[in-house]
Each structure stands twice: as structure tokens, then as C-alpha cells.
Amino acid sequence: MTAYQLAKEEYAKFGIDTEAAIKAAAAVPISVHCWQGDDVVGLDGGGAASGGIQTTGNYLGRATDFEELKADIKEAFSLMTGKLRLNLHASYAVLNGEKVDRDGYEPKHFAPWVQFAKELGLDGIDFNPTLFSHKNVKDGLTLSSPDENIRTFWVNHCKACLRIAEYFAREMNSKCLVNIWIPDGLKDVPADRLGPRLRLKQSLDDILSVPYDKENVLVAVESKVFGIGVESYTVGSNEFYQNYAAKKGICCLLDNGHYHPLEYVSDKIPALLAFYDTVALHVTRGVRWDSDHVVLFEDELKEIMTEIVRCGATEKVRIGLDYFDASINRIAAWVTGQRAAREALLFAMLQPHETMRKMQDGARFTELMALRERCKLLPFGAVWKELLSRENAREDWIEEVLSYEKDVLSVR
Ligand code: RNT
Ligand code: ZN
């Protein structure tokens, strides 16, 4: 008997069908961010991530142009598992020397990405306006700036992004999530907390006033509790965006590195699902005050995926990844995080949710605790290995990355 067959029997004792779990876990799309490949630098000349966003490390072989980034994505994606999407930032426009600023980006600047995504057979493309690493981030502000020209520039950038998102949705025949994150905030005690928020509200209203394909372009807003350099006040806070999204019929994006360390996104998902048809995620790993560490197979990740699964919301919750580590091999970082997310999905699908729910509703908390502890020791690894082999994905992928580092990255 193979390890998988034994595992299958073991899980069956708890009423869990490993075959169904393997299929379901591999079929959930994970939108993989392009920006792990080059430390969020982008291709449009914005330079090193700045304006509320920072990358640390200088590991060899950073992709410095479109060709290198594509090669690295190809390599990294070939080692990932299950259904994949590509999550692009607007700063990855392929301009080919054309002098055009972010408020003038058009679908044609992203046509090479569409071609590439089709070549890789991806499920779709998601998109993010880039409101950082640019001279028009004025005094740390974008859509909430008191300077009308600055606001208009960024409003026009976001409008352009909606048109590009429509193009992605059409070309890929798959809904495109457009996520707006802005760095706006203040380092020290504000003299006015309302003004910037009212300006942000007006800017968002202006952006959403353009007609766009609401069926296929899903707009999300991403909140943050604070950032480096904006410790005292963040314009786009959680309360601000949740109310805005609810009133305007758009959705919220929850980045699990963007809350107080004792607040859990796993708990927020069902809260939002009570009101929204779509909830978007940036799956990341916060460490103390810093978000964006490489995602690992840890408790909160498992709990996030568990909530998605037990709420029956794998089609409502759009899972995207968001981390950038420049201190280790970037491709290894990419693959580690993506695999951890998929592992957590499978883990979530291998729990006896119905039995546990009944125990909760019947106030059988003693049994529930005992059962949960037993489930932690079920032979999950054997089922994961089975998923890998069915997906033709290798277990010892690090060897491949190290030889790519030797042959490709180290000679850049
Ligand atoms: C920053 C936000 C945002 C970015 C990406 C690059 O704190 O998490 O999502 O990480 O847009
Ligand atoms: Zn994020």
C-alpha cells in the first residue's frame, strides 16, 4: 500500500474524501503577483519601490527588463501548482521607448503581457493601478492630495487602468480584478483627518464615474492600518474602504499584512461574505510591523483558506499573493509562497467541516476541541504529494531553481 492509499483510508474514517479534495484544491485560481520578480521596480522607469512601499535585499539576478521578467515568471510558474492567474501592476507597461505617462497608458501597452499569459495558458489577468514610485506622489499623497493636479493625474491613471482591465477580461475571457492601493498617510499627528478622506472619496467617485464593464471588471479597494513613514494616519483605512465599497457596490481587498497583528483576516472573510458577493485577498505574511514576507504554511494561512472553504466561497473570494523578498532567490521566494497557499487550500479541504459545525451548533465544545487536535495529525503530507504527482509538479523543485540561478541569474 502506498502512503497515499493509507492516508486516503485514514481521512475516510473522518468522512473526508481525499480524491475530491485534491481536485478541488488544484482548481482554485491563485493570482500570482508579477512584482516578486524585480522587487516591485516595474518597467516604466519609476525606479526602486518608493512612496510608501519598500523592498529590502539585493540578491543576485533581479530581472531588469521585460524579457528577463518573462523568463523568470515562466521558470517560477512552471514550478507552481494548480490553476494560476497573473497579477500585474500598471508600472509593468511595456512602453518600448514611447514617452507616455501613467495617465495615458492604453491596452496596447499591455498587449505583450496578454500574449505571454495566453502562451502560459493562464486562467486570467488581474490588475493594479500603480500609485507609488512616481514623481506625482506629492508629499506622500496621491488620490487624497490637496493639490488638484496631483489628484487629477492619479484619477486619470485609475480610469486608464479600468480600460486596460476591460481589455484583459475580454482577451482572457475571464473577469479581471482591479485593486486600488494608495500609500497616502501622515507620519505625525494629523491636523485634519476628515479632509483627506473626503478628497479620496471624491477621487474614487470620479474614477468610478467612467462607464466600464461592471460584469467583468471587479474593482477593489485595499486598506492598510499604517505604513513605514505614515505611522500616524492612513487615509485609506479599513473603515473608510469597507463603507465606501458597500455604498458603491465594489469590493474590499483584505491584505493580511495590513491590520493590527492581533486582528485576523480569517475572521474578516466571513464577516464580509455576509454582505459581499466578492471578497479579494492579498495573501502575505506579516512579521511584527512589516507585511510582505514570503507566504509560508503557517496557522493563519491555513485559517484563511479554511474560512474560504467552509464558507463555500472558493468562487467568491479571489485569492491573490502579495510579497516581495529581495534577500533570497526571488524565484524560490515566489514558488515557496505559491505552494504554501495551495497547500493551505488542500489542508482546508481535508477537514471534517460538517462534523465540526454540528458539534459547535450542538454546544459539544469538548468533542470539537478533541477532534480538531486529532485532525492536525492526519497524514496531510501524503495527500499533498499525491496532488503534486497528479499535477506533474516536482517535489524537489529547489534543485531546478538553483541550477537556473547558476545558468541564468548569476550571469545577468
Ligand atoms: C502595499 C500593498 C500593495 C502592494 C502592491 C505592490 O502595502 O500591500 O498591495 O504590496 O500593490
Ligand atoms: Zn497588498
DSSP 162-204: HHHHHHHHHHHTS-EEEEE----EESS--S-SHHHHHHHHHHH
> In the predicted model, is pLDDT for residue 128 greater than 90?
yes
Write down the pLDDT at residue 381: 98
**Residue nearest (by alpha carbon) to ligand 1 atom 1:** 53
Instruction: Specify the residue with its C-alpha closest to ligand 1, atom 2.
Output: 181
Q: Is 224 a catalytic residue?
A: yes
Residue 58 CA to ligand 1 center (angstroms) comes to 19
Q: Does the annotation mark 123 as catalytic?
A: no
Judge whether residue 51 has pLDDT over 90.
no
Nearest CA among 129, 215, 210 for reference residue 174: 215
Catalytic residue among 126, 303, 307, 322: 322
342 CB near ligand 1 (under 6 Å): no
Q: What is the DSSP letter of 222?
A: E
Residue 265 has pLDDT above 80, yes or no: yes
What is the band of 54 on the pLDDT scale with cuts at 50, 70, 90? Answer: confident
Question: CB neighbours (10 Å) of residue 288?
Answer: 7
222 lines ligand 1 (CB under 6 A): yes
What's the pLDDT score for residue 370? 98
**Residue 228 has what pLDDT?**
86
Indicate whether residue 303 lines ligand 1 (CB < 6 A). Answer: no
- Which pLDDT belongs to residue 53? 83
CB 337 within 8 A of CB 77: no
Over residues 204-229, mean pLDDT = 97
Question: Could you give the CA distance from residue 54 to residue 291 in angstroms, rounded to a whole number?
Answer: 10
Q: Whose CA is nearest to atom 5 of ligand 1?
A: 322
Q: Is the pLDDT of residue 225 over 90?
A: yes
pLDDT computed for residue 288 by the predictor: 87
Instruction: Tell me the CB-side half-sphere exposure of residue 291, using CA atoms within 13 A.
Output: 22
Q: CA-CA distances (angstroms) from residue 140 to 78, 97, 196, 387? A: 38, 28, 12, 45
Closest among 129, 149, 150, 148 to 138, alpha carbons compared: 150
pTM of the model: 0.98
Domain boundaries along the sequence of the chain:
29-349
CB 286, CB 257: distance < 8 Å: yes
pLDDT tens digits, 350-392: 999 999 999 999 999 999 999 999 999 999 999 999 999 999 9
3-class SS of residue 32: strand
| C-beta of residue 278 within 8 angstroms of C-beta of residue 254 | no
Contact of 117 with 70, CB cutoff 8 Å: no
Strands (E) across 53-175 are located at 84-89, 125-128
Could you name the CATH architecture of 29-349?
A: Alpha-Beta Barrel (3.20)
Tell me the average pLDDT of the chain.
Answer: 97
C-beta 4 within 6 A of ligand 1: no
Question: Which H, E and C letters describe 300-332, residue by residue?
Answer: HHHHHHHHHHHCCCCCCEEEEECCCCCCCCHHH
pLDDT at site 291:
85
What pLDDT, on the 0 to 100 scale, is given for residue 82?
98
Q: How far apart are CA 410 and CA 31, in angstroms?
A: 28
Compute the distance between CA of residue 128 and CA of residue 90 in angstroms, rounded to an integer: 6
